[in-house]
Amino acid sequence: MRHLIVVLLLSISNAVYAAAYDLGVVGQTYEIAEPDMLEGFYSRLREAEANGKMAEIEKQMKDRFIAYTNRPTGITLPRVQKQKVRYFDPTIVLSQNIVDHEGNLLWPAGTTVNPLEYVPMTQQWLFFDADDPEQAAWAHDYLKRFPNQIRPILTQGAVLELMEAWQVTLYFDQGGKYVEHFGIKAVPSLISQEGKKLRIDEVVPHG
């Protein structure tokens, strides 16, 4: 809970578009160390380099990488139509022993732990769809009214472009994993701490 566990815009998979360019099918399937397969692969690369296509391949991969970074895979949610408040209990039951750096047991498996008792939430988390102009305008105004108090998290949208336009750090919930975790059904939604629970406000945006 110490850090917002959403993927920061640059924290994307190490394998993003590693195979973005199709080098074709190299015969039948071989074991990874099969010389024929490797030779076929390198032959395709040499051919691409020889006919001047390597630069084009690299540009395609770079363009796709940038495009994905700017607009990761998000989740589509409806816009909030009516104000609503509900609560989320972050208490968990440990599935294994938790030890410190010296191996001393801190909590045994089966212990019930509420992370908010150890690491309080210091910012509100604002989930919103940046592809919805009215939501984006409302979120931008909210951020300006409460600077340093909000952690803005996109569920959809061009995150790099918006960061440049707003000059603020933005986060992106890739695949909607935290939307799903918190049971968010509509956006914009604000998450804040209230006692030992998280308060989730569904907010009707007013541009």
Longest dimension (CA), the chain: 66
Q: How many domains does the chain have?
A: 1
Domain-embedded: residue 156:
yes
- Which domain covers residue 126, as residue numbers? 75-202
SS3 38: helix
Distance between CA atoms of residues 112 and 180, nearest Å: 22
Domain-embedded: residue 146:
yes
- CA 194 → CA 14, 65, 102, 123, 188, distances in Å? 37, 40, 34, 12, 19
CATH number at residue 107: 3.40.30
Q: What percent of the chain has pLDDT over 70?
A: 70
Domain-embedded: residue 121:
yes
Q: Which tens digit of pLDDT belongs to each residue from 64-117?
A: 656 567 788 999 999 999 999 999 999 999 999 999 899 999 889 999 999 999
Distance between CA atoms of residues 207 and 28, nearest Å: 58
pLDDT of residue 1: 35
CB atoms under 10 Å from CB of 85, counted, come to 11
Domain-embedded: residue 51:
no
pLDDT of residue 63: 58
Query: Does 7 score more than 60 pLDDT?
Result: no
Domain-embedded: residue 108:
yes
Q: Which tens digit of pLDDT belongs to each residue from 126-168?
A: 999 999 999 999 999 999 999 899 999 999 999 999 999 999 9
Query: Does 178 score more than 70 pLDDT?
Result: yes
The pTM score is: 0.68
Domain-embedded: residue 135:
yes
Query: Does 192 score more than 70 pLDDT?
Result: yes
Domain-embedded: residue 28:
no
Domain-embedded: residue 1:
no
Distance between CA atoms of residues 77 and 1, nearest Å: 24
